Amino acid sequence: MYIHIEAREIVEHESGFPQYWLKAIFIQSVSTRYQVNVLASTYVRLVEAAITEYNLGTVKLREFWDTHTSINLGAMNRSMSHFESCLSNMYRATNCYRKLSRNRDQDPLAVALNINKPSFSTNAIADRFRLMRNAIHHLEELVINGKLQEGQPFALQSDGPETPHPTEAQQTIKTIDKLVIGEHEVHFSDLATWLREMASVAVKIAEFGPSSSQPSTPSNTT
């Protein structure tokens, strides 16, 4: 069986968003409202963390399949742990974004974020984050209470279709292209797309500044 992994690191944002932190700490916060600044900083931090965990997950996934001298279960276990953290951070970041963009006081940042609605913030995709995150976090409860049925998955797994090799008889190609837990699944390509959308919003927040009519305030990032 040949293995083909369809997951690539997001290298363009691997260093996070230092421009946001430099501006927020040393120049000016994105809003005159404390709660808006808190939501913005939390969102940016979680997106940074999600991208880091996604990249680490892909590296360890490849390390597992590229190890031929032994069964590198440690790499696979770490890969799934990274992806679990990635999904959890994406879920939390989505909640922060939705709250931030729906600011009742119509803060200028909220107005700017509502000009274009990213797909990751839609109800359908936000629900997918929630369901997968809940499936991951509720597994421990099922295990402890002895409610996990025999054969029921007890961890996030990588998976994908297996097809016959086009030229080698009795040989197949296994394409690892998604994460699965129970009845829930998400493709790496979709995760990468949503993470890049989240990153674009983080950049937009970093570049945003209150209007000149608003007085600047000290940083509220802590």
41 CB contacts (<8 Å, ≥6 apart)?
20, 24, 220, 221
pLDDT at residue 219 in the model: 45
Share above pLDDT 70 across residues of the chain, in percent, rounded to a whole number = 93
Strands 178-181 and 184-187: antiparallel
pLDDT at residue 84 in the model: 95
pLDDT of 217 reads: 44
**pLDDT computed for residue 154 by the predictor:** 73
Structure tokens belonging to residue 161: 């279709």
Number of other residues whose CB lies within 10 A of the CB of residue 61: 23
Decide: 90 and 54 in contact? Cβ < 8 Å. no
Q: What is the largest CA-CA distance in the chain?
A: 72
Q: Which two tokens stand for residue 89?
A: 């951070």
Q: Annotate 145-158 with DSSP letters as a single string.
A: TT-PPTT---S-EE
Q: Two tokens at 120?
A: 């990751």
In the chain, the percentage of residues whose pLDDT exceeds 90 is 59
Query: What is the rounded CA–CA span in Å between residue 42 and residue 48?
Result: 10
pLDDT tens-place string over residues 199-222? 999 999 999 865 433 444 444 444
| Gap between the Cα atoms of 209 and 113, Å rounded | 12
The contacts of residue 85 (CB under 8 Å, 6+ apart) are 49, 50, 53
Amino acid, single-letter form, for residue 62: R
Stated pTM of the model: 0.87
